[in-house]
Amino acid sequence: MPPKSKWWKYFHEGSEKYRIDRFHSKAWCLSCLQHYARIKQDEELATVRSGSLQSVRSEAEIIREDEGCSLQQSYLEAMTYSLCSHGCQQGPSDLRQTEQDRLQRCRQRQESSFGHTLPAAKHQRVSDSSPFYGEAAPVVKWPNSKQEQFATDLCKLFIACNVAWWAVEHPFLRQFFATYIPAATLPGQKVLSGRILKEEAEKVLEDMRHEVNGKFATGQTDGWKNIAKSSLIGSIVNPWLLNIFNISATVKSAENLLALVISEIKYCTEVLHTVIVAWCTDASGESRKMRRLLQQKFPWIITVDCWAHQINLVVGDYFKLKSTVSHTMDDALEVAKWFNNHSRALGLLHDQQVTHYGGRALRLILPVITHWTAHYLTCTRLLELEKAIRTLVLEQHEVLIACVGDKRDARDKAQSIISIVVTESLWSNAVNCSLTCYLDMLQKHLEPLTIAANVLQADNAQLDTVLMTLGSLYGIFSQVEI
């Protein structure tokens, strides 16, 4: 193995590898390190004088302790060429002279190689000064306390903006921070989504313990499926999130749900030191049976339905009252669905809105079963766009039919949608139609139920809120002819 180059006496070789190089380590210029250490000592001396620090670290301690974080932006590759190319103005004169000689030889070779070629363009200029390689002095990194706060806030930022953890490893993101916030050291993906996230979760848990300690609480359990189609069960208390259980491989029975609820009650009692006085679930068969079993085991716990779910069931019952109600809603959904499924027709509707509403264009809304107020929003949006839709159908009837192609079924469907739109009874009063035929009446009937659903699904909804809401709904619909 050949001996090390003489230039190594001016550099410090680290223990970590240089980026993805498996053979060469990171290296630091000793002159740069000493310059950095002197800057840090001056900062620490000022801190000692203010009484916030007991003593100033030595140069060796600063270099050893800061190598892993504060000096990450100033390392070199441990190769002789890289070391000699480091044009540090703090370094020894022989090293700087060697670099200048090397650059001069390169310049002479270029002149000899291209001496007989055409002259350079007028806009090209050759500088007489030597190029600068590396940093004259390392960037002074933030102290550990500020760096930890930065990493914590970065974790919160990723969560609040729904940014994937791998994004912190993206080269452009790291280049952005290195350019505009060079004093900050970005944590890696594993650190950000591991240690830092766990520390923040512990802080949230501690805050929850402080808020609910010694208080009476109402628990609530509900299930859903995540993006991976896993069946999850979660619980909350007033309205702090407790634990999430993956029950994908478990039988969805009242007995298994009861076991989960009992474990949550035990967690609230022993860990959070709260007193559970009530438990709430939706109105499904297994949930209702679980509440009955829970009350048999804990007679002092009040078990209640989730009235936000109940209001959604009332909306379903409303559509079953008369066929004209469901037919009107079906027609409205068919219109919204047809436009959303045909891009050209949707584009024509967009242009028609810009013409009628002065540059403002809205999207049609289709209801989703888990979005309890979506049927009301569908009716409201169609009524907002009534003028644009009806004008488009009347003025560009043939164009809309041509949007679907030449198939007979598609053209018949387009014609049926046009017939629905031009029918007066869908939108407003007609002579021989009951009130439930009209979309505007349907919207007015759904509005109180929509408000009730939002009131009863709020974080601060209580049993007296349910009673007042039901009384208000009774008063409203007692005066409405359905």
Kindly report, residue by residue over 348-391, the tens digit of the pLDDT.
Answer: 989 988 888 877 788 888 887 777 788 899 889 988 888 888 88
For the structural domain made of 213-305, what CATH number should be given? 3.30.420.10
Tokens of 429: 């009063």
**Predicted pLDDT of residue 107:** 57
Q: What is the mean pLDDT of the chain?
A: 79
| 292-328 per-residue burial string, b: 16 or more CB within 10 A, e: under 16 | ebbeeeeeebebebbbbbbbbebbeebbeeeebbeeb
Q: So where are the chain's domains? A: 6-108, 144-204, 213-305, 314-478
Distance of CA 147 to the CA centre of its chain: 23
Q: How many residues in the chain?
A: 482
Q: Which residue has the higher pLDDT, 3 or 414?
A: 414
228 has a pLDDT exceeding 60: yes
**Predicted pLDDT of residue 43:** 81
**Predicted pLDDT of residue 190:** 92
HEC sequence for 101-130 = HHHHHHHHHHHHHCCCCCCCCCCCCCCCCC
**Predicted pLDDT of residue 356:** 82
Q: CA torsion 258→263→269→271, rounded to 10°?
A: -160
433 Cβ contact partners less than 8 Å away, ≥ 6 residues apart? 324, 425
195 has a pLDDT exceeding 80: yes
**What gap in Å lies between CA 183 and CA 375, rounded to an integer?**
52
Instruction: Output DSSP code: residue 427.
Output: H
**What gap in Å lies between CA 335 and CA 329, rounded to an integer?**
10
436 has a pLDDT exceeding 60: no
**What gap in Å lies between CA 63 and CA 40, rounded to an integer?**
10
**142-146, 148-152, 440-444, 456-460: which has the highest mean pLDDT?**
148-152
Per-residue pLDDT band for 261 (boundaries 50, 70, 90) equals very high
**What gap in Å lies between CA 222 and CA 233, rounded to an integer?**
6
Task: Please compute the mean of the pLDDT values over residues 46-64 and round it to a whole number.
Answer: 76
Kindly report, residue by residue over 78-119, the tens digit of the pLDDT.
Answer: 455 455 555 565 555 665 566 566 556 655 655 554 444 444
- Give CA separation, 196 vs 136, 151, 175, 202, 267, in Å: 33, 7, 22, 10, 25
Kindly report, residue by residue over 324-346, the tens digit of the pLDDT.
Answer: 888 888 888 899 999 999 889 88
